[in-house]
Amino acid sequence: QSVLTQPPSASGTPGQRVTIPCSGSSSNIGSTYVYWYQQVPGTAPKLLVYRNDQRPSGVPDRFSGSKSGTSASLAISGLRSDDEADYYCAAWDDSLSGRWVFGGGTKLTVL
């Protein structure tokens, strides 16, 4: 059972806009930044969004993050076939002496 909650799957057609939600609590998302990672099967996770809504250099502006209260979301616009991957949200949780926590991951399928 992951501390952050994500739907196990999401899907969309090429060109469509898809949103992946992430729900947490006051000890994690509600009190600090949210991060998003993309993991293509068989490869390492890649940072997509940091500090709620910032993109590292090289990440297309089709990817955008937002946060409100104890929830966050990742939006992907202009969906492409190579966006098919697992997406994880992450945040620092200040309970239990502090720890990084992740969502269970959302598998995005491009139909």
Partner 1 sequence: QLQLHESGPGLVKPSETLSLTCTVSGFTITRNDYYWGWIRQPPGKGLDWIGSASYSGSDYYNPSLKSRVTISVDASKSQVSLRLSSVTAADTAVYYCARLSGSGSYEYYYMDVWGKGTTVTVSS
Q: Return residues touching partner 1 (CB under 8 A).
A: 2, 32-33, 35, 37, 43-47, 50-51, 56, 88, 90, 92, 94, 96-105
Toward partner 1, which CB reaches closer, 46 or 62? 46
Shortest distance, CB of residue 104 to partner 1, whole angstroms? Answer: 5
Please spell the DSSP secondary structure of 42-87, one letter per residue. TS--EEEEBTTTB--TTS-TTEEEEEETTEEEEEE-S--GGG-EEE
- Which CB sits closer to partner 1, 80 or 99? 99
**Identity of the residue, 62 or 107, whose beta carbon is nearer to partner 1 in the bound complex:** 107
Minimum CB separation from partner 1 for residue 92, in Å?
A: 4
Of the pair 33, 76, the CB lying nearest partner 1 is at 33
Give me the least distance between CB of 45 and partner 1, in Å please.
6
CA distance 106 to 111: 15
Q: How far is the CB of 13 from partner 1 (least distance, A)?
A: 26
Burial readout 85-95 (b: 16 or more C-beta within 10 A, e: otherwise): bbbbbbbbbee
Strand, helix or coil for residue 9: strand
